[in-house]
Each structure stands twice: as C-alpha cells, then as structure tokens.
Amino acid sequence: MLTHQELLNFEPSTNAFADKVILITGAGDGIGKAVAKAYAKAGATVILLSKTIKKLEIVYDEIVNAGHPEPAIYPMNLEGATAKDYADMADVIETEFGRLDGILLNAAALPSYTPIKAYDLEQWSKVITTNLHSNFLMLKMCLPLLEKAEDASVVFSSHHAVQAYNGAYGVAKSGLDALLRILSEEYDDAPFIRVNGVDSGPLRTKLRTFHYPGENPATLAPPEAIVGPYLYFMDRSAGKTTGEIVRFERLPANDTENT
C-alpha cells in the first residue's frame, strides 16, 4: 500500500485506462468532475452520471476539447430512481459498451445540518436513499458486468461524518463504509473486484461553500488535489489492494502535500 503522499502524487502510465469503461456518479462538479477528467486523460471512456444535464454537458465538452475519448452522459436523479431505473442503466451500458471495468460511487447529498430530534422524516428518507441505498442498487445491477472485467475496481468517496447534526448523512456515510468492507470481502477471490475508498477531507467544492459560507474558499485545496488516490485504486498497479479506506486531513490549498 502506498503512503498518503505517494497516493496524492500518483499518476498512471500514458493511456493506462485505454481499455476501461468507467461509470462515475456525481460527475457534474467537485470530485466527480475532477476525477472523470483524470480518468479520461488516462484513456478511459467515462460514463458521466448526475441529475443535472447542463453540468454533465460542461464536463463532456471539457473532456472532448482536451482530445480525450468521447464520454457518455447518463442523467439520473438518485433520490427518485427505482430499482428498474438502475437495471435499465446496466442494460444500456452492456448494450452500448459491452463492458464495465470500474465504478466511482461519488454522488452525495447533505441538505442541512440538523439535530436528530428535529429531523424531517421525508428528508431523512431522501438523504439515506441518495447517499446509501442508491449505491447498493447501483452495485446490485452492475456487479454482473464488473465480474466479467479483467481488472475491475469500485471506488467509494468516503466521509467520516459521525458527529452531531450530520443526521441521515452521517448514518448513510457510515453505512457506505460498511458496504465497502462487506463487498471487498465478498469479492476477495475469483471473481476478484478491487473495492476501496477515499476520504478527501474538506475541499473547495460548492457543497462545502454552501454549508460554510463564512469560510474563505482560497484556504481549501481544489478537487484536483485529490485525484491521485482515485487514479491509483482504479489502476492495475493497485493489484490486490482491497478493503482500504484512505482518509486525508485538510490538504494545503496550494499543493497536494498531506498534513
């Protein structure tokens, strides 16, 4: 296993992902956008999934204009998607691409910081669905495709959020870590699927700015600072590394050195 600094500095070899098709949730901005572009730069055909088509089109254009493989756009609102919607998505991927080599489970929703006593019941259900149940459904429908891949990998965007007022988000993220551990053990043998997670710590994202309006965004590292670990866990060089959740503290705003 690489050190934190080695992970942050990791760069795959040229066109290392040229034979990969990778599905990315929450690809419209933040970490999802940054990692999607990094995967495409390494030669992958990325499937960009998010609920906001306009954001996905921007990412699509940036990837194409950079001369990387043409990505695909798959709009989906995880909050309201049914099991059939996920099954249809997997069918489309198999029909259009004939394979799936990796998934980045990155989409997340944190509407507000709320004490448990005051938590709205409907909002609780929506947050749990978006942050936890949707990932189960995504995996449930896509695992048959991943099982066929020569070097399959699933990467979770983790977040240790067990603290007051995180409510359903904190519960869902803890559940997601458990899902990661369980899945990694179930696929620790043939068919082997590499399953790992990355907890970036605070970054300069729209979600962070929304919840911390008084914080100077310039004091935070951009999402691009964390792409190294996401590249590594999707790369063949990660080998049999599985079941790991790599957690970072606050990255410096001007470089990617972990502190």
Q: Is residue 212 scored above 80 in pLDDT?
A: no
* Domains of the chain, residue spans: 4-247
pLDDT of residue 252: 87
Under 8 Å between Cβ of 160 and 168: no
pLDDT of residue 219: 87
pLDDT mean over 147-151: 97
Q: Is residue 85 scored above 50 in pLDDT?
A: yes
Under 8 Å between Cβ of 201 and 259: no
Fold of 4-247: Rossmann fold (3.40.50)
157-186 burial, b if ≥16 CB within 10 A, otherwise e? bbbebeeeebbbbbbbbbbbbebbbebbee
Q: What is the dihedral of CA 66, 107, 180, 251, to 10 degrees?
A: 70
Which pTM was predicted?
A: 0.94
Q: Report the chain's mean pLDDT, rounded to a whole number.
A: 95
Percent of the chain with pLDDT over 90: 88
- For the chain, what is the radius of gyration of the CA atoms? 17
pLDDT mean over 14-29: 96
- If pLDDT is split at 50, 70 and 90, which confidence band does 35 have? very high
DSSP-derived secondary structure for the chain:
---HHHHHH--PPTTTTTT-EEEEESTTSHHHHHHHHHHHHTT-EEEEEES-HHHHHHHHHHHHHTTPPP-EEEE--TTT--HHHHHHHHHHHHHHHS---EEEE----------GGG--HHHHHHHHIIIIIHHHHHHHHHHHHHHHSTT-EEEEE-----STT-HHHHHHHHHHHHHHHHHHHHTSSSSP-EEEEEE--S-S-HHHHHH-TTS-GGGS--GGGGHHHHHHHHSGGGTT--S-EEE-----SSS----
Residue with tokens 């899945």: 183
Residue 61 CB-half CA count within 13 A:
6
Q: Is residue 258 scored above 50 in pLDDT?
A: no
Distance between CA atoms of residues 10 and 202, nearest Å:
20
Residue with tokens 């369980």: 182
73-77, 107-111, 181-185, 214-218 — which is least confidently predicted?
Answer: 214-218
